[in-house]
């Protein structure tokens, strides 16, 4: 690529990242929708750069905001708010990426033109050069140290909640949230095993580590594109976090069971169950979001797996249930997502403390509703990707207190319920509780 095209490409990546951030921070949109919308036209390498920048800014937003705000005479609001997002893009590059300083500044200034802010290129250039003059030297990893944030770059309400729930581990949780998550694979054990698949990865130059807790899980040394994974299109392997893979194990289903997967989209847990069972009665997967449910259908087709897929509000029992009880129910309840912040850093800035109370009510409503569809003697696995006690053990304890026909099945000899916390080289934050319906 010649220098002119390279410069244009770099500016496009940074402009896209600024637009993504603007849609999230100003319009309240999620990364899941904003990022693909703003990067669809980019080349793959440019898309990766835009992702690294936009996700990185969201991880360290308070610290970056203070750096930028200190160089502005007044906040950039209204039509100029996009420039504030662009300055955050520039500041993140200068501190957290190994991009050459002059390239980061020049490409970010050029990006202002892509954002139709040609008249403000001087402002962007001036602020970034001020930041550069005052920035510390790069360290041994060719990065700079961001100023420390007293709340570990999290909103205060969340810090307070984590401190309350985990007085001995709250700092580790917050620090883990700001790190890049590992890429986990789920090996289809009906086609191969983790050891053999690890060898297949090695043959392609991909290093992976077999997990000693989950038989199907492999952690990659470095993330890679899914189309470079041997057997991906044939269903030999899927991308799924280690903690999420526990659902397929803890449900304790067998082939004779009638199984319901509630809130199933995008279908990772559905596929895991189908990979490890040959159910005599087709598994039922239900979700209220038709667009996300389409991914379930696509994933099922990719692996040629049968299932009954229903788009419906699971809490409206009459709209989808045929009256025949289920032997096993997996309820992956709608939650705050606070256990997967490292994968979705926008959660920190989009979620509010008031949202948690609403989610707790919704979870209780769904749990109470689907309990009616569970057969006597059947089991329900309640799961969330949250680390907040209100959504997890407190939710289950309240349910047990109000349902005489429900009892708790201990996860193992050490714990009645399982709370996984995010770990740098481990799984995401997840919660599991097993409930049995007494006759």
Active-site residue numbers? Answer: 385
Torsion angles phi and psi, residue 66, rounded to 5: -65, -40
3-state secondary structure of 232: coil
Contact assessment for residue 312 and residue 319, using Cβ atoms and an 8 Å cutoff: yes
- The CB-based long-range contact list for 202-207 (8 Å cut-off, 24+ gap) reads 203/230, 204/228, 204/230
State how far the Cα of 50 lies from the Cα of 380, in Å rounded to an integer. 41
Contacts of 124 (CB under 8 A, 6+ apart): 83, 86, 87, 90, 108, 109, 112, 117
Alpha helix (H) ranges present in 79-232?
Answer: 81-96, 101-114, 121-134, 156-165, 170-177, 194-203
Residues 295/239, Cβ–Cβ less than 8 Å: no
Eight-class DSSP state of 136: P
Residues 117, 123: Cα–Cα separation, whole Å: 10
Q: Say how far apart CA 63 and CA 103 lie, in whole Å.
A: 22
Report H helices in 115-234.
Answer: 121-134, 156-165, 170-177, 194-203
d(CA 351, CA 385): 14
Which residue, among 250, 368, 384, 391, has the nearest Cα to 314 in the 3D structure?
Answer: 368
Q: How far apart are CA 342 and CA 239, in angstroms?
A: 16
The answer to whether residues 172 and 420 touch, using CB atoms and an 8 Å cutoff, is: no
- Residue 308 has φ and ψ, to the nearest 5°, of -95, 115
Compute the distance between CA of residue 439 and CA of residue 435 in angstroms, rounded to an integer.
13
Take residue 309 and report the two structure tokens written for it: 């897929």
Phi, psi of 141 (to 5 degrees): -95, 10
């Amino acid at each position: 690529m010649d220098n002119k095209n390279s410069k244009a490409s770099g500016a496009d990546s940074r402009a896209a990242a600024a637009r993504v951030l603007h849609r999230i921070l100003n319009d309240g949109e999620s990364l899941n929708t904003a990022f693909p919308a703003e990067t669809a036209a980019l080349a793959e390498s440019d898309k990766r750069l835009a992702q690294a920048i936009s996700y990185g800014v969201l991880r360290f937003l308070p610290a970056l905001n203070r750096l930028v705000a200190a160089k502005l005479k007044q906040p950039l609001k209204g039509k100029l708010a996009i420039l504030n997002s662009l300055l955050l893009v520039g500041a993140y590059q200068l501190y957290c990426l190994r991009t050459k300083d002059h390239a980061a500044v020049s490409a970010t200034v050029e990006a202002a033109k892509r954002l139709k802010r040609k008249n403000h290129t001087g402002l962007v250039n001036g602020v970034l050069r001020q930041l550069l003059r005052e920035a510390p030297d790069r360290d041994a990893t060719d990065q700079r140290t961001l100023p420390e944030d007293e709340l570990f770059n999290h909103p205060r309400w969340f810090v307070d909640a984590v401190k309350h729930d985990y007085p001995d581990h709250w700092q580790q949780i917050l620090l883990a949230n700001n790190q890049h998550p590992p890429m986990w694979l789920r090996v289809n054990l009906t086609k191969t095993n983790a050891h053999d698949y690890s060898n297949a990865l090695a043959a392609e130059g991909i290093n992976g580590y077999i997990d000693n807790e989950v038989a199907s899980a492999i952690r990659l040394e470095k993330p890679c594109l899914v189309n470079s994974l041997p057997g991906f299109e044939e269903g030999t392997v899927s991308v799924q976090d280690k903690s999420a893979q526990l659902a397929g194990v803890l449900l304790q289903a067998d082939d004779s069971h009638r199984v319901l997967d509630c809130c199933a989209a995008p279908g990772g847990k559905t596929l895991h169950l189908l990979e490890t069972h040959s159910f005599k009665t087709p598994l039922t997967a239900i979700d209220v979001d038709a667009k996300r449910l389409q991914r379930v259908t696509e994933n099922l087709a990719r692996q040629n797996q049968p299932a009954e897929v229903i788009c419906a509000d699971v809490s409206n029992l009459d709209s989808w249930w045929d009256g025949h009880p289920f032997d096993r129910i997996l309820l992956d309840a709608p939650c705050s997502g606070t256990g997967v912040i490292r994968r979705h850093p926008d959660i920190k800035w989009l979620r509010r403390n008031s949202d948690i109370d609403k989610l707790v009510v919704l979870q209780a409503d769904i749990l109470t509703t689907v309990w009616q569809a569970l057969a006597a003697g059947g089991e329900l696995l309640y799961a969330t990707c949250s680390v907040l006690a209100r959504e997890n053990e407190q939710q289950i304890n309240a349910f047990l207190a109000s349902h005489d026909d429900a009892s708790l099945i201990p996860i193992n000899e050490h714990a009645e319920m399982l709370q996984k916390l995010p770990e740098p080289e481990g799984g995401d934050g997840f919660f599991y509780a097993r409930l049995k319906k007494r006759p």
